[in-house]
Structure 1
Amino acid sequence: METLVGRVAGMAKHVWWATRPVGAAQVFLWWCGTLLLASAAVHGVVALVDGGPWLGSVTWRKPVVFGASFGLVTWSSVWVMRQLPRRWFSWPFALVFGLSSLIEVGLITLQKWRGAPSHFNSATPFDEAVFSGMGITVLLVAAATGFLLVWAVLDFRGTAVSRVAALAGLLALAVAGYVGTDLIAAGDQVYATTGHVPEDLVFGAAGSAKLAHAIGIHGIQVLIVLAVLLEGAAMATRTRLWTMLVGTAGYAAVYTAVTVTAYAGRAWTDPVLPVAVLGLVGVVGVGVGFWQALVARGVADDRSAVAV
């Protein structure tokens, strides 16, 4: 047990040293992400104390989920910036990305404390202004994400393994943004038809739109962790890259399967057979990537212990 705990602690330390901020712009972004994650944690406690439903248009789920999601994405952008050279536009990018994320989550949180829906709410001029403000800030975050993707394509200085994680993760974020625009369009249609803020959003009859959106947003964290583990693994350089490609292809397969199923109007638990096979193969691919990374990482740690 002590060996397992020590190994996990060592891996966590390795991930931290590989993702910690370097330079003022990165530190600023890291603190923005930390504040967002802290807000999610605090509101998680509030949700437990206050009780009430988790799902719906006015629940504690929104400040918790949005705070955690934006916080993790902000931290992820720090890791990507570590692989890029410092440029004059590093600070403008960090300010736009960090402040827009804080404002977006802040407005969502404000509406929950007011007891009002944050999305699709035009009941009062204030509510309408809040929703409009959220639209502006999320567009700024999307624009900053697209800018970071282009920057990474043109000027990435990390290893091939890190390049795969960064580009695939940022591309998935861009696709998630597209899914998000369709979610907003679906919500606007529900509001225009019923005059009420939708309590939940699906594509068609039962398409898991939010799940497809979430997988796209958080794939970059999965790929970053895999890349960091591989960088410290006892593997040949080519084997590391192939393992990263297998894990990335697996993630892409899962993301594709869930998204296609959502747009088909089917629940994620009810895909058509070919899509179900694609998703299953994807899960295996991600699992194989992490399994090989963890095993090789353990071998490297054992060798270091023997050397000491």
Structure 2
Amino acid sequence: MVGTVWRAVRPQNGFQRLLWWAGTLLLASGAVHLVVALVDGGSWWGPVSWRKPVVFGLSMGLLLWSMVWALRRQAQRWWVTVPAGLVGASLVLEVALITMQRWRGVPSHFNAATAFDSAVWSVIGMTIIVLTLGVLWSLVASLVRFRGSAATRIAVVAGFAAVLVAGAIGKDMAAIGEAAVDATGRVPDDILFGAAGSAKLAHAVGLHAIQVLGVLAILLDAGRLRARAAAWAMAVATTGYAAAFGAVTATAYAGWAPHDPTPAMAVLLVGGAVAVAVVGVVALWAVPSRVASGDADRDLERELGEAADAPVPAVARRAEA
């Protein structure tokens, strides 16, 4: 299964390799700072903690890997690669600034204690704007031209859309944080919607949709299911994830704790999670078992049928030109 996923996400050209290595750098940074956090001790929460370089490094690294996976199935044109490059540059810069502030022992967000800290926070805000515009452009590009299967296209479009919704949640989080600083003169320990609404959880669920749906799409495409059946299964999983995401987000904005949703939101959350889990079981069942041999790997490559890997016919090249 790991080999199947790797063959579907590995970079294929120099630009994709650049983004992939940038994502790998961020993942490595998150892993290293996790070790630092364990050795250093201290609280995992709060405005100044090792949690931020760890969580941001791992999350943004996975997002960059997801961008590479989506790029493999999009037209290799400047109007696709430039927005993806902006996403990569903004993520690396954002994580670098957040990590620097933690090593300085000061908050990275909502911090205007000095002119330098204020400038850092302003740059972080600008990177988020660039990131949002890049993801939005990538979403449009996926709708305009796509070389992958229907299941993969559903996962890419829904994943990018969820990242944009997560960005909107993040904007509301920033507004609450700024208001708290203006009212108290200090950076808040946590950002909550209402009394106990978990803004961070809602933000994270949206941000990582593209990874969950992407893995499901890869396994469905590599399995025994026909293309139409795989697309329907992907649609079910996407609907389920959207339901769960909607329930978590609505609960957060209502000011309720994640473990204490309303009955309606609880049903929506459980139902959505079950739908995703069922599709996950189907995807795993559909992937044929293989022996660890070179012939088996070559057979699996043929079954994947990745359209993005195939050379573009001369007629198609002329049409694109």
TM-score normalized by structure 1? Answer: 0.93
Distance 1:134 1:90 in 2: 24
Distance 1:91 1:274, change over 3 A: closer
Sequence identity percentage? 51
Matched, 1:69 2:63: no
Cα offset, 1:88, TM superposition: 2.3
- Of residues 121, 124, 129 in structure 1, which corresponds to 2:111? 121
* 1:291 equivalent in structure 2: 281
SS of the residue corresponding to residue 89 of structure 1 reads: helix
Distance 2:240 2:234 in 1: 10
Note if contact 1:253-1:282 (Cα within 8 Å) is conserved in structure 2: yes
* 1:191 equivalent in structure 2: 181
- Of residues 78, 83, 100 in structure 2, which corresponds to 1:93? 83
Matched, 1:137 2:119: no
Equivalent pairs counted in the alignment come to 295
Distance 1:39 1:185 in 2: 28
Distance 1:49 1:90 in 2: 42
Note if contact 1:234-1:296 (Cα within 8 Å) is conserved in structure 2: yes
Note if contact 2:83-2:135 (Cα within 8 Å) is conserved in structure 1: no
Q: Which amino acid aligns with 2:212?
A: V
* Structure 1 stretch displaced more, 233-242 or 101-110: 233-242
CA offsets per residue over residues 211-270 of structure 1, 9 Å max, x none? 000000001000000000111111122221111111111111110000000010101111
Matched, 1:159 2:149: yes
Note if contact 2:74-2:80 (Cα within 8 Å) is conserved in structure 1: no
Q: Which amino acid aligns with 1:184?
A: A
Note if contact 1:25-1:94 (Cα within 8 Å) is conserved in structure 2: no
SS of the residue corresponding to residue 205 of structure 1 reads: coil
Matched, 1:301 2:306: no
Distance 2:73 2:32 in 1: 32
Note if contact 2:194-2:254 (Cα within 8 Å) is conserved in structure 1: yes
CA offsets per residue over residues 266-289 of structure 1, 9 Å max, x none? 011111111110001001001001
Distance 1:225 1:100 in 2: 25
Distance 2:39 2:28 in 1: 17
* 1:5 equivalent in structure 2: none
Give structure 1 stretches of 5+ with no counterpart. 1-10
Distance 1:219 1:84 in 2: 19
Note if contact 2:166-2:206 (Cα within 8 Å) is conserved in structure 1: yes
SS of the residue corresponding to residue 84 of structure 1 reads: coil
* 2:316 equivalent in structure 1: none
Matched, 1:274 2:243: no
Distance 1:40 1:133 in 2: 21
Cα offset, 1:96, TM superposition: 1.3
- Of residues 20, 24, 29 in structure 1, which corresponds to 2:19? 29
* 2:311 equivalent in structure 1: none
* Structure 1 stretch displaced more, 83-92 or 104-113: 83-92
Distance 1:19 1:68 in 2: 17
Matched, 1:256 2:267: no
CA offsets per residue over residues 176-218 of structure 1, 9 Å max, x none? 0100100000101111111110010100000011100000000
Q: Which amino acid aligns with 1:301?
A: S
Q: Which amino acid aligns with 1:131?
A: W
Note if contact 1:161-1:240 (Cα within 8 Å) is conserved in structure 2: yes
* Structure 1 stretch displaced more, 230-239 or 218-227: 230-239
Moved over 3 A (4+): 302-305
* 2:7 equivalent in structure 1: 17
Distance 1:78 1:72 in 2: 10
Note if contact 2:150-2:227 (Cα within 8 Å) is conserved in structure 1: no
Note if contact 1:229-1:294 (Cα within 8 Å) is conserved in structure 2: yes
Superposed, which structure 2 residues align to 1:101-112 within 5 Å? Answer: 101-112=91-102
Distance 2:66 2:85 in 1: 15
* Structure 1 stretch displaced more, 19-28 or 223-232: 19-28
Note if contact 1:250-1:286 (Cα within 8 Å) is conserved in structure 2: yes
* 1:6 equivalent in structure 2: none
Note if contact 1:26-1:94 (Cα within 8 Å) is conserved in structure 2: no
Give structure 2 stretches of 5+ with no counterpart. 297-321
Cα offset, 1:95, TM superposition: 2.8
TM-score normalized by structure 2? Answer: 0.89
CA offsets per residue over residues 8-66 of structure 1, 9 Å max, x none? xxx10110010011112111111110110010011011111111110000000000000
